[in-house]
Structure 1
Amino acid sequence: MANGSIQYHALKTRQEGASSPPSRSRSPSPISTSRLPSRNKSRISIAKAILLVSVSFMVLALVHVSYSATYENGAGSSPTTGNETPIEIEHHQQQQQQQKQPPVVQAPVEPVAPPGTPQQEPPAEPAQPPAEIGSIISDTDLTTTYRYENGTEIRLFKPNFYKNGPAAKKELGSFLQTLATRSWVVHRPEHKTQEDAPGEEEHENDDQEDDNQDQNAVPGRYFAYLPMGGGNNQFTSLQKAALLAKDLKRTLVLPPISPNSHIKTWAGPRYSQFYDLESFTQKSGIPVLEWHDIKMTPEEVPGGFGRQWEEFSEDLPCTPNGGIGVSPTSLYDKFRQQFLLKYVRTVVPEDKTEGKSTEYNYARDVLLRDKVVAAPAPGTTPTSPTPANGVIAVDPNMWKCLTCPYFLGGANVSPRTWAEVGVHLRFNEKTEAMVDDILDVLLGPAIEGEPTTTAGPVVPSSSTGTKGAFRPHPQFIIIHLRRGDIVNKCPAGMAEKDCIVQIEAIADKIDEIEKARRTVALESLKKTMKDDDPASDGRNYVHKLLPVLVTTNEQRREELDKIDRLGWILLDHGNVEKDEKGQVKPSMTKKLGTESKFGPWYPSMLDAVLLTRGDYMIGMQNSRMSILATQRGAAWHGHKTMLM
């Protein structure tokens, strides 16, 4: 195999170091009759020598065959000392067995042939997992599944998987069957520490309230949705879907952060890669299950597979909403590709709008009343009381799905989505630590005696249960300057300065922030000095400006030059560039190399975290990312945030 786990053994075919006598070159000459007898004697001597050597080799070969037969039949112990341990004997026996095998030649990987091309399938070989993966629990022609010691499973896909759609679908199984047989796991709520609790009795009451909240979802009932748009629009969909799951008393089945027009990959990462989902469940009372946990599918696929993925897909029953999914052509999410799901519109007689409503309460009530089974498990019918053909019948009430919660609205929906969902979905410790690393590079450590960032403690770690803390850094201002595609959305005929906020206007706002800071500092200074002190009027006070960080998708050079002249620090996740001589090109920014180190999903995600950490944050009213950042920064850390 490619990783070298198979041992290769070469057979010894000739005597090492043996060589034939050097040949001589002689010029032609007439034969002398007087020398014939000596030549004949020489030839006879050579023949005798050859015969003697041949007989010797035959005798040695017979002895070797006799000895090998005796040893392999168990009559001998070891070809060495005869005093080996059982382990050493077994090792020698394995060596003897391996030497009888012909040399192993690694076959090259065959390219994926077009569908319908007859091929001779190679014998199945287990895919090689990383070293830390545990035992094989399933190995077929198409996949190999491994299980970690903690119970987590991972499935590796072989090239044969992409050659047979029906067989691949059968082997992957149905996610509905997985849910039907899944053991329900209750996430225990987070409680107050002993220091925070005034008394044991009050602490016990808190336990009871939290347990009731945690039991909000009915075991074995699930709600899923289809994501849409960029990462921040997907987060908006998540918040509304989580609120629906809470109202429906169901576990939320969470898709990954899906590929979109900004990040064009086949597969997207789990939310748990960046967010602390366990803490979210403990605080919100909304259990969460990720799609990765109910269906293991390929995260990297052959190039041509993108044109045939539906051949490998199982049906995904889902109710259309907001006009999305009324017809299959109206779907534009990439999540279904990653998990090989073919959308099937669920017929809901109660929905008189035929899937076009955007009213939250209406969608919730339709889902509450709907008792239709859209796609029964294979071998069952919607009314099957018992399993058929060994397949577990799916409870008609187990599965609910909505195509597009993003457009849902109505009275009090937005405040609820933030207060009951968004405020509890915080970044995990690993992601926050990566942002600390960036601040170390851009701002350096906190200077003794100067104010530091006022970020609060990190949420408790789901793995350690302990509270970490942000590293102290100098206070700073951060700007989210949404440009790029926003500029292209300006109405026809409208000047850009009337459509989007200009950098000069943002600079004026920062001047206002600094004037207010200076006033506060002078008032504090006066309180510590006597009236007759010459410094009490502030004439000797030197006001130190805060560093300004900018995250933006602006690409125009003239706009970037404005940022540079103002002395602001532009966040740049790119790599250093070199010229043809290998010399590093000068740059106005410090290259962080985020994408090359961690992948395409990290730059925007780390920017989102950075926006919450600035003591002052300025965002754009027309940006969903800015809106989320102002909510997070204010609620989590008490920072001053504003939209322009």
Structure 2
Amino acid sequence: MDTQDPYDDSETPFIPTLGAKPRPTKGRKLSRRTICAAVAGISLLGFGFLLLKPSSYLDTQDVPSYSAASNSSSYLQGPPTQRFRDNLRNDTKYITSFSSAGWTNDVMTYGNLIYLALLTERIPIIAKFLSSHIDSSEPPFAFGEVFDVPRLSQAIGIPLLEWHEVKDSESQVFDDLGGWSVWESVERYKEDPRPRESPIIDRLKLDISWTRTPDWVKLTPPDVIDDHASFWSLATLAFPLARSESLGLPNRPSPQHHVSLPPDDQLLCFDFLYFIGAQRPWEWEMDYSPAWRFVGQHMRWNVTMEKLADAHARRAMNVPADEPVPPYISVHIRHGDFRDQCRGLPLDQCFASLSIIARRVSEVQEELHTQKGIEVTHVIMTSDESDPEWWSEVRALGWTWVDYATDRTEEIYGKWYPVFIDAIIQSNGAGFVGTRGSTMSNLALRRVQTWHNGPTRIVQWGRPGADDH
């Protein structure tokens, strides 16, 4: 079985309807650090009023209000224009790319884009997230409605722009643009490789003429079947020498105006940047990952989005609004399409049992007790599993989950929100237990380790005894 699913989407959380969940026992000892952090955060951010509402209260008033980075206007000519180029400054260079791999992978794609912007000293322009993995009828979601753009910009030392700041979202003008197709180069072992398509390109009304990147951008040796390109190889194309030497490579006319354009120098454009690494494939799994260290760890949640997730977590743990949020262990168990990787093996032999997962949770609890002196008994499960019996066993363990149906989360906010809230709850655990091969689990693990110095475990699966240790 592959060690990583290259198209791993953040699955839509399943909403079990098993009746009321047991109220966890009160009286747990909270760490001084947890209490101080909660109090300071509420005071600093001024959103305490959200937490003082009755625990059953959810209202459209709580929908996060988004404002762009305060300094973004300094790097544009002004408000969004009908043609993107009319809004770019002549003394500034930019970089962009597009998403098309499911939300968690799209987060990583934009992390890679921003890291490449650091390497090339350009300003990234970030497109919206697509909802193809949730419901194609759901509108795209702005990067800054999920992540704290001003904080990220300050942390990494460069400004960040979003496409809706550059070009009017309602514009019907197709802009000509020359771009580099990484996908054609890394997929050249396939018959008739083509540039990676993304519906967001049409939404932005961009008419792109793609030029294939040189074969040497591939990260792994030519005889290795792998889709990864190298960060620094791509970065060289932002500079005159490598760019000029590569302009003669195969070029595809744009689909709308049928023009053949060289890759743009002012707006460096790549078709797809998910499969990018510095030293090896799947680097977001590695502790040295440069995209994580220099960008990903600074992609903190939009404050109001995090408050909304906090309110859901409180209800899941039956914690009154006037009490500090207790430490909890977050768990992410992905089954869903992973069933396809069982290759006919019965699911009860392929997937790790809840008893195995509970053993991993116990290890995290013990590590929290030994290293931090924290007794953590709250456990919040997030999963796409749909078997009611499985969820009944989760309840029997004394664990809990967010009841999105009762909270009317999708009805009030939209279908994106359970995915976002699950990711935020996972990231804010004092410890975390996840599923091998899931990028959603991997990002949650990175966040818990980096943001909270929390212990983590990854559950192995795919064969009987896979997680024996």
Name the TM tier (shorter chain): 0.5 to 0.7
Q: Which runs of structure 2 are paired with 1:69-468 in the superposition (5 Å)?
A: 173-180=82-89, 219-265=91-137, 267-298=139-170, 313-323=174-184, 331-346=196-211, 351-352=214-215, 358-368=229-239, 369-371=242-244, 397-411=265-279, 414=284, 415-445=289-319
Separation of aligned partners in 1, 2:449 and 2:389: 33
CA RMSD in angstroms comes to 3.7
Equivalent residue runs for 1:510-529 within 5 Å: 510-514=361-365
Q: Give the CA deviation at 1:570.
A: 2.3
C-alpha contact (below 8 Å) 2:183/2:195 kept by paired residues: no
Distance in 2 (alpha carbons) for counterparts of 1:566 and 1:382: 61
Q: Secondary structure at the match of 2:183?
A: coil
Deviation at 1:332, TM superposition (A): 3.9
Residue 416 of structure 2 is matched in structure 1 by 601
Percent identical:
21
In 2, Cα distance between equivalents of 1:606 and 1:515? 27
* Correspondence for 1:509 among 360, 366, 371: 360
The answer to whether the 8 A contact 2:131-2:416 is kept is no
Q: 1:511 to 1:549 in 2, by over 3 A?
A: same
Displacement of 1:488 in angstroms is: 2.4
Aligned residue in 2 for 1:624: 439
Residue matched to 2:28: none
Q: By how many angstroms is 1:330 displaced?
A: 5.1
- The SS at the match of 1:240 is helix
Give the Å deviation of 1:346: 2.9
Distance in 2 separating the partners of 1:399 and 1:279: 24
Quickly say closer, same or farther: Cα 1:419–1:517, change in 2 above 3 A.
closer
The correspondence of residues 34-49 of structure 1 with structure 2, limited to 5 A, is none
Task: Check 1:419–1:512 CA distance in 2 against 1; reply closer, same or farther (3 A cut).
Answer: closer
Q: 1:407-432 CA deviation, whole Å, 9 max, x = no partner?
A: 11231764111110011111121112
The residue aligned with 1:553 is 384
| CA distance in structure 2 between the partners assigned to 1:346 and 1:615 by the alignment | 47
Shift of 1:572: 2.8
Distance (whole Å) between structure 1 residues aligned to residue 370 and residue 296 of structure 2: 35
> What is the match of residue 332 of structure 2?
480
User: For the structure 1 residues 363 and 513, does the alpha-carbon distance in structure 2 shift closer, same or farther, using more than 3 Å as the test?
Assistant: closer
Distance 1:478 1:426 in 2: 18
Contact 2:314 2:321 in 1 (8 A): no
Aligned equivalents of 1:174, 1:503: Cα separation in 2? 54
C-alpha distance 292-556 of structure 1, shift in aligned 2 (>3 A): same
What one-letter code is carried by the residue in structure 2 that aligns with 1:286? I
Secondary structure, aligned partner of 2:404:
coil
User: 1:251, 1:286 within 8 Å by CA — same for their partners in 2?
Assistant: yes
Q: Is the 8 A contact 1:260 1:333 kept in 2?
A: no
Report the Cα distance in structure 1 between the residues aligned to 2:150 and 2:371, rounded to whole angstroms.
Answer: 41
Tell me the alpha carbon deviations over residues 366-402 of structure 1, each in whole angstroms, 9 at most, x when there is no partner.
33321569999x9x9999xxxxxxxxxxx96312111
- Contact kept, 8 Å, 1:476 with 1:616, in 2: the verdict is yes
Deviation of 1:152 (Å): 8.6
Q: Tell me which residue corresponds to 2:6.
A: none
Partner secondary structure for residue 505 of structure 1? helix
CA offsets, 1:207-240, max 9 Å, x none?
Answer: xxxxxxxxxxxx5100011212111101111111
For the residues of structure 2 that align with 1:487 and 1:441, how far apart are their CA atoms?
A: 31
| Structure 2 CA distance for aligned equivalents of residues 544 and 283 of structure 1 | 33
**Unpaired segments of 5 or more residues in structure 1?**
1-150, 155-171, 182-218, 300-310, 384-394, 449-470, 525-542, 575-590
Structure 2 distance, partners of 1:239, 1:333, is 17
1:500 corresponds to: 351
CA contact (8 A) 1:320 1:345 kept: yes
**1:281 aligns to what SS in structure 2?**
helix
Report if aligned partners of 2:103, 2:129 keep a CA contact under 8 Å in 1: yes
Structure 2 residue aligned with 1:642: 457
Cα distance, 1:516 vs structure 2: 6.0
**Per the alignment, do residues 402 and 567 of structure 1 end up closer, same or farther by CA in structure 2, a change over 3 Å counting?**
same
Shift of 1:472: 2.1
The separation in 2 between residues aligned to 1:230 and 1:365, in whole angstroms, is 28
- After superposition, the Cα gap between the structure-2 partners of 1:429 and 1:222, relative to the gap in structure 1 and judged at 3 Å, is same
CA 1:246–1:560 in structure 2 vs 1: closer, same or farther (change >3 Å)?
same
Q: How many residues align?
A: 355
Alignment partners' CA distance in 1, 2:292 and 2:154: 16
- Letter paired with 1:572: D
- Residue type of the alignment partner of 1:621: R
Contact 1:322 1:408 in 2 (8 A): no
Residue 512 to residue 269, structure 1, CA distance change in 2 (3 Å): closer
Contact 1:242 1:286 in 2 (8 A): no
Tell me the alpha carbon deviations over residues 494-525 of structure 1, each in whole angstroms, 9 at most, x when there is no partner.
Answer: 3434543322211222344456667789xx8x
Aligned partner letter, 2:208: Y
Question: Are the counterparts in 2 of residues 298 and 338 from structure 1 also a CA contact under 8 Å?
Answer: no
**TM-aligned CA deviation for residue 153 of structure 1:** 5.5
Q: CA deviation at 1:357?
A: 6.6
Residue of structure 2 equivalent to 1:579: none
2 CA distance for matches of 1:345 and 1:519? 56
Q: Secondary structure at the match of 1:489?
A: helix
Shift of 1:266: 5.9
Distance in 1 between the 2:95 and 2:363 partners?
Answer: 47
- Could you tell me how far apart the structure 2 residues matched to 1:334 and 1:268 are? 10
Distance 1:600 1:501 in 2: 29
Q: What letter matches 1:547 in structure 2?
A: H
Q: Which letter maps to 1:406? A: Y
Unaligned runs of 5+ in 2: 1-76, 219-226, 460-469
User: Structure 1 residues 433, 337: CA separation in 2 closer, same or farther (over 3 Å shift)?
Assistant: same
Larger radius of gyration: 1
Task: Give the 3-state SS of the residue equivalent to 1:488 in structure 2.
Answer: helix
Higher relative CO (Cα under 8 Å, sequence separation at least 6) belongs to 2
Supply the distance in 2 between the matched residues of 1:249 and 1:239 (Cα, whole angstroms).
Answer: 15
- Displacement of 1:295: 1.4
1:593-625 deviation digits (Å, cap 9, x = unpaired): 111111121111111111111112111121101
How far off is 1:284 after superposition?
0.5
Does the aligned pair in 2 maintain the 1:328–1:343 contact within 8 Å?
no
* Deviations 1:8-50, CA, capped at 9 Å, x for gaps: xxxxxxxxxxxxxxxxxxxxxxxxxxxxxxxxxxxxxxxxxxx
The letter of the residue matching 1:496 is: L
Give the AA of the match of 2:299. L
Q: Is the 8 A contact 2:112 2:276 kept in 1?
A: yes
